[in-house]
Chain A
Amino acid sequence: MNRLTYIGLAIAAIVIIAAVFAPWIATHDVTSQDLALRFRSPSAAHWFGTDGLGRDVFSRVIFGARISLEVGITVVFVSTIFGTFIGAIAGFYGGWVDKILAGYIFNVFLAFPGLLLAIALVAFLGAGLGKLILALCIIGWVGYARVMRGQVLKVREYDFVQAAKALGAGNMRILFTHIMPNAIQPLIVQASLGMAGAVLSEASLSFLGLGIPPPAPSWGTMIEEARQYFAVYPHVLFFPGVAIALTVLAFNFIGDGLRQYLDPKQRTR
């Protein structure tokens, strides 16, 4: 794996540690306001300064990691399970099942710009963590389904699968013990890139006011709140901005590195 992958892994580890140990790392309560302390610059008392309501930006950024990862992990987990299942069915059974799933349903989901579909769903359903996760899963699963379908189509023609079939192995056994382990690698790459996408989408929707409502310290919401005072107090926007960028960058680095590592053609290039 290349150097950028290790950098990605290191950043991801820091973000995960921040999320898990947020209550111990945060120096202040994330919701307690003190208007006398509005827009303080970074100092020993407030490492990243304070925001427009006098809240500690460092503590909010740390707790923001929790929201981002919570959304990211849930979305990736649910989308992977569902997408893998549908993709496996499409690839394994082929014929009409594949024509309807891959030829039509995948195309419909890919036909919507992802963010727009999420915006539309949240606009009609209403904002909230659960609805946001649901919307992101609805746009996310199809990527995994496509990868899985492609892998199944490829692997099912291999000799060992044909041999298992000839020995009388059932469809489920062939799918789970022979095909699945061979399709895992590209799914891991997809999940890593999907994690970056989910974190970014959560922040984008929260920025648009369609994600997790305030006062929850979502990075997207923090940026939206900081935007109007940005010209005078740039630090309020800078830190959550860097946090999002680094987290997304880390998962992109990991996904990219893994793809190159797992694909011999790209490794030599």
Chain B
Amino acid sequence: MKFKLLNIVRQLALMLLVIWTVVSLVTLLIELVPGSPAVTILGETATSEQIANFNAKHGLDRPAFFFSYTNSDGFVWNGADNRYSEYFSGLLHGDLGRSFRTDRPVLDMILERYPSTIELALASMLVAIAIAVPLGVLAGTNKNGIIDNAASFVALLGISLPTFVIGPFLVYIFAVHLGIFSPTGSAHPEDIVLPAVTLGAALSAILTRMIRSSVIEELGEDYVRTARAKGLSERTVVYKHVLKNGLIPVVTVLGLQLGVLLAGAIITEKIFSWQGLGLLLLEDGIAKRDYRLVQGCVLVISVTYIVANSLTDMVYRRLDPRIRLS
């Protein structure tokens, strides 16, 4: 029990350390901007007074970090009044700063869009499961047969086809030609289908391969022989016994992939003009050079990714005693 608790504490500590590093990196990313953000936002014609006002308003007139180094002055200690500590203390109060462009709190802008992205990620996960489970089971139960080879090929195709190729083709077939769905937007409930299939295609391919090897591995276990010896039908053996055990690693992959889907959603959202966090990052953040908003979006996506991964890891250790003990 003590060992278990220690492990959880250690994992949590690592997660917090990683989050702290990611936050630090994101905070300091703004230093990479060539020139100054003020000139980028206000334009080359901005007066020095306008630039000074902008910098003061967004705290850009303060030093970036606790210390700085210049060729002329060497190392200079700047004290606690710096942008890094200010961004951090803001974060602890749930403040991601204000948009350089709209002056709105970045957190509000993100919270408006975040649900759409989560909705898209979850829908694509459902699509992936719906495709992968039957395909993976078919491939695994027909090892090295035609169905297996075909399923493996389809899976590799799914991994290799980029979302920005799949997406437009789906639009062409189902929106332009068949007219079943609208090509872009999220006005109707069914509008989520094409983006979800696009985003879920790669995941379904990964899952299919996992389920296939899981099924193959489980079919060789003793309990399967026992179940068959009891006279259970092959269908019952596969779906009631094999799949139940074979799905443990799949659950883990799903957890780990949630973060990947959130990041991958950036491209899918662009293709379908899906009003989520990815589109906010691209259109309002990067395209308009609203660096504060970019910082916020990158931070929220990364932290979601880290938390999802860490929680999945912990749940997996709980589920599988072999991992827990090793």
Contact = CB atoms under 8 A, between A and B. Distances in A.
Interface of A: 4, 103-104, 107-108, 111-116, 119-121, 123-126, 196, 200, 203-204, 207-210, 220, 223-224, 227, 230-231, 234, 237, 241, 244-245, 248-249, 252-253, 256, 269
Nearest to B157: A249
Given A111-B22, A113-B305, A116-B263, A125 B32 contact: yes
Given A244-B162, A269-B216, A111 B18 contact: yes
A218 B276 CA distance: 27
Nearest to B164: A207
Interface residues of B, number: 52
Interface in B249-306: 259-260, 262-264, 266-267, 270-271, 281-282, 285-287, 291, 294, 298, 301-302, 305-306
Interface in B9-67: 14, 17-19, 21-22, 26, 29-30, 32-34
Nearest to B183: A231
B162 A204 contact: yes
A4 B22 contact: no
B278 to A, nearest CB: 9
Contacts of A248: 160-162
Interface of B: 14, 17-19, 21-22, 26, 29-30, 32-34, 143, 153, 156-157, 159-162, 164-165, 168-169, 171-172, 176, 183, 213, 216, 259-260, 262-264, 266-267, 270-271, 281-282, 285-287, 291, 294, 298, 301-302, 305-306, 309
Contact of B22 (A108, A115, A121, A230): A108
Contacts of B161: 245, 248
A58 B26 CA distance: 41
Given A4-B153, A115-B264, A120-B29, A108 B165 contact: no
Question: Chain A: interface secondary structure?
Answer: helix
B160 A116 contact: no
Contacts of B164: 203-204, 207, 220, 223-224, 227
A220 B162 CA distance: 10
B32 A124 contact: yes
B160 A234 contact: no
Contacts of A103: 14
A249 B157 CA distance: 7
